[in-house]
Chain A
Amino acid sequence: DVKVTQSSRYLVKRTGEKVFLECVQDMDHENMFWYRQDPGLGLRLIYFSYDVKMKEKGDIPEGYSVSREKKERFSLILESASTNQTSMYLCASRWGHLNTEAFFGQGTRLTVV
C-alpha cells in the first residue's frame, strides 16, 4: 500500500513562529504537492515539486516556501506564521505517469494563535 505520512495531525503555533510541515511518501513518487483546505474554498495548491530540488509555485504560494532535498520528503515552511494561515494542510504524491492518481496524507490541522 502506498503511504503518505504527514508528521503531525494537529499543530498549534504562535504568530510569527517559523513552522515546518513534513510529508514523507514511500512509493518513489516523482510528484509531490502541498494544498490547504478551507471550508467553501476546496483544495488550493500552494506548491508542488516534480523532482528532487525542483519546485514550482501553485496558486497561493505567498507566505510559504518548500524544500525537497530527497525524493521521498517534501516540506512546507511557513516563514512567519500568521493567523490567516490557520487551515488544514494536505500533502499528496503521485508517479509522473499521465493517468495515475495522487495519494494523500492524513492532513495537518494547523492553528496559529
Chain B
Amino acid sequence: AQKITQTQPGMFVQEKEAVTLDCTYDTSDPSYGLFWYKQPSSGEMIFLIYQGSYDQQNATEGRYSLNFQKARKSANLVISASQLGDSAMYFCAMREPYSGGSNYKLTFGKGTLLTVNP
C-alpha cells in the first residue's frame, strides 16, 4: 500500500498567487515526521520544511507552510506568492520507525510537478 500519496501529478499557478500541493500519508505509528522537498530541473533535492507528528503548530519556513491535519493524515504544502523559480517537482516524504525500533526509514511520494506561469 502507498505510504505517501500525492494525487496531483501536475499543477499550474499564476505568478504571485498561492498554491497548495496535497499529500496524504498512512502510518499506524504515533511517532513520525513529514518532509517536503523541491527538485528543480537541475535535479538537486532541496529540503523545504518539516513537521513532526507531535508538533502542536503547523510548520512555516518563509513562503512555505505546512497545513498539517493529523486526523485526516494530510500534510499539504502551501506556497504563498509563487515565483517563476518555484517551478519544479515537489516531493512529500515520511520518516517512520522501521520494525518498531528506533531506526527510521524515509519514504517518498510520486511527486507533483508545479509550473508557475508569468
Partners in one complex: yes
Report chain B residues within 8 Å CB of A44: 108
- The answer, among B31, B33, B105, B109, for a CB contact under 8 Å with A48, is B105
A33 touches B106 (CB 8 A): yes
Given contacts A56-B98, A94-B106, contact A101 B31 (CB under 8 A): no
**Interface size counted on chain A using CB atoms at 8 A:** 27
Main secondary structure of the interface of A (DSSP, over half): strand
Report chain B residues within 8 Å CB of A43: 91, 93, 108, 111
Number of A-B pairs, beta carbon distance below 8 Å: 64
* Contacts A/B (CB < 8 Å), 18 sampled: A42-B91, A42-B110, A43-B108, A43-B111, A45-B106, A48-B105, A48-B106, A50-B98, A90-B45, A96-B104, A98-B31, A98-B104, A99-B52, A101-B35, A102-B47, A104-B44, A106-B43, A107-B43
Report chain A residues within 8 Å CB of B104: 31, 50, 96, 98
Chain B residues with a Cβ under 8 A of chain A: 6, 9, 31, 33, 35, 43-45, 47, 50, 52, 91, 93, 95, 98, 102-111
Instruction: Give the complex CA separation of A43 and B93 in angstroms.
Output: 9
